[in-house]
Amino acid sequence: MKPQDLFIGVIDIFAVFLPGMIFTGYLSTYKDIRNFAKLLVPANDSTAYWILFLLSSYFIGHIFFLIAAHFDDTCDKETIPKLYRDAKDAARKLAETARQSHASSSTDTLPTDETDRGKEMFRWAKSVLTQFSPAAMNEVARYEADSKFFRSTCLVAIILAIALFFQFLIMVTKTSLSLSWPYLFSAITSAALSILSWLRYAERRAKSSEWAFRHVAVWCEHQKKG
């Protein structure tokens, strides 16, 4: 296995594991959750507890991963066009020109919808790079792996922000503000983290498309000259 393949694999694992571990750690602060865990593992067996924690993190992480995948359409239609449209569109036009000149059939057409057109071009670019330029595909895959990690982290941060804010409201009614403010601070921090994670997710996602288009355009040009 090449080092870059290992790196991508590690990032993919963390995209599932780390968000799951964060949320599982949060759930473990509840007494009822801890009592339920005690029913599943032998008493005073720290190894069994860690195994349960890791398995729970992996399972919850996959759930977050699946839910967060629905962010892609919103990111493609709302965030990326506003922040990264110029660079991505310029690269896509290069790739479209290369595809048309390299196409073996005159019936090779693209969708008219901009979002669907971008997705189709990205799938085509990845298939070409996977087969003919693995090194370039590894770079694209690194961007993709990063974007998946920040996508899941964004979802976890949103959920934690909401949960911690409601905990703050509950604590305020039961105790004083001086004892409740850590929950509010944690909620605000989680909300800020969700925004930063979203921006990083969008940036990495835009980069994965941009460089897939650039690499495939260069490859097609090279094929024409060769």
The per-residue pLDDT for range 145-188, each reduced to its tens digit, is 889 999 999 999 999 999 999 999 999 888 887 788 999 999 99
**Confidence grade of residue 1 (pLDDT, cut at 50, 70, 90):** low
Q: What is the mean pLDDT of residues 140-148?
A: 90
0.95 surpassed by pTM: no
User: For residues 78 and 1, which has the higher predicted lDDT (pLDDT)?
Assistant: 78
Find, among 52, 9, 14, the residue nearest to 156 by Cα: 14
Proportion of the chain above pLDDT 70, given as a percent: 88
Confidence at residue 128, expressed as pLDDT on a 0 to 100 scale: 87
* pLDDT tens digits along 11-28: 777 788 888 999 999 998
Give the other-Cβ count within 10 Å of 216's Cβ.
29
| Mean of pLDDT over the chain | 85
Confidence at residue 37, expressed as pLDDT on a 0 to 100 scale: 81
Confidence at residue 84, expressed as pLDDT on a 0 to 100 scale: 84
Q: Which two tokens stand for residue 63?
A: 């759930």
* pLDDT tens digits along 63-113: 999 999 999 999 988 998 888 877 777 888 888 887 777 665 444 566 677
**Confidence grade of residue 45 (pLDDT, cut at 50, 70, 90):** confident
- Amino acid (one-letter) located at 215: H
Is pLDDT of 5 > 60? no
The rounded distance, in Å, linking the Cα atoms of 6 and 8 is 5
Q: What is the DSSP string of 196-213?
A: HHHHHHHHHHHHHHHHHH
Torsions phi, psi for 147 (to 5 deg): -65, -35
